[in-house]
Homo-oligomer: A and B are copies of this chain.
């Protein structure tokens, strides 16, 4: 076809580094690697961390909501929460309004653990973004977040899961403290 033989001057193997999908997967992989050391000690690793975050930031979601939000099978969520409960990070609390449901609430220790982990994860992220300038990082973060929102809109189990807020508790930071 064209006059030039190739457009790959430097790397002999492949030019995939220009490919969007390849780059996306590469960055995702690098991210996983970067935070894995931080999250290795946590129950259920990165998944446990994200679940804990969803619980802490959320308002006592039930397991199905949690599973849908994090794109985890509900049967897997059972074991995942088993470990988180065993680690003392969250609690299963019966919902008096619907006794089939278990509202998941974070313990005080879970909240503290999350805050600590978030700090370390943030540091690992900065290490990953080291190749970008300061302002570029912020741009990338912003665009990524916006993209995630719009991308999630087109899918089921997205960002919407209505739960109402509630005050907190002594040992657990819970949505509906109720009568114990």
Chain A residues near B (Cβ < 8 Å): 5-6, 8, 11-31, 33, 35, 46, 50, 53-55, 57-59, 61, 65, 69, 71, 121-122, 125, 128-132, 136, 139-141, 143-152, 154-155, 159-165, 175-177
Contact = CB atoms under 8 A, between A and B. Distances in A.
Contacts of A16: 50, 53-54, 57, 69
Given A13-B58, A17-B152, A152-B26, A140 B131 contact: no
Residue among A30, A71, A147 with the most chain B CB within 10 A? Answer: A147
A161 B20 contact: no
Given A11-B160, A22-B148, 9 more contacts: A5-B176, A5-B177, A16-B53, A16-B57, A21-B125, A22-B50, A28-B28, A33-B155, A130-B150
Nearest to A137: B143
| Copies of this chain assembled into the complex | 2
List the 6 shortest-distance A-B pairs measured between CB atoms, nearest first.
A131-B150, A23-B148, A30-B151, A13-B161, A26-B148, A14-B54
Nearest to A165: B6
Interface of A is mostly: helix
30 contacts: A6-B175, A6-B176, A6-B177, A8-B57, A11-B161, A12-B59, A12-B163, A13-B58, A13-B61, A13-B69, A14-B53, A14-B55, A16-B69, A17-B148, A17-B159, A21-B46, A21-B50, A21-B125, A23-B147, A23-B148, A24-B148, A25-B28, A27-B147, A30-B152, A30-B154, A30-B155, A129-B147, A131-B146, A131-B149, A139-B139
